[in-house]
Amino acid sequence: MSEIVKVKSGSKYETLNSYSRVVVAGDMIFVSNTAGRNYKTRAIAPDAKGQAEQAFRNIEGALAAVGASLRDVVAVKVFVPDIADMDAVNEVVGAKFRDIDPANTTTCTPLGQPELKVEFEVTAYKRRNPGQPEQRISVDLS
């Protein structure tokens, strides 16, 4: 594989705003902000949970295109405009990342379109030794 790989998913915004859905740079994988819109049908769920679930399907498809999965995610950024939707979004995030435990930044911020209730950006790492277990450490930050 080339040192840098750029993947487009067909979203009109990738062309309009000149960006890639996924960029692989060496061992690092960067997935651009991804909304809960089905990019083929343009359909979007009316609720935050439905949008979060579709966004993860989009992200999983993008990662699969470069031979990765959610298990490779090391950081996620969650953008939710309405704090009232936070519990529904966190439920989906918690289920998707159970036992993966990436770093997480969650913010309440406006998004580019009024119908969007959530977007995610993820960073993944292509493991050189995928069979090697992760090191997990607990720390008391009090």
pLDDT at 128: 80
Backbone angles phi, psi at 22, to 5 degrees: -135, 140
Positions in the chain whose pLDDT score sits under 70 = 1
pTM: 0.91
Under a CB-based contact definition with an 8 Å cutoff, are residues 36 and 53 in contact? yes
In a domain, 110, yes or no: yes
Number of domains in the chain: 1
Where are the strands (E) in the chain, listed by range?
4-7, 22-25, 28-35, 73-79, 103-107, 119-125
Under a CB-based contact definition with an 8 Å cutoff, are residues 55 and 119 in contact? yes
In a domain, 109, yes or no: yes
Q: What are the tens digits of pLDDT across the range 88-109?
A: 999 999 999 999 999 999 999 9
Q: What CATH number does residue 26 fall under? A: 3.30.1330.40
pLDDT at 1: 55
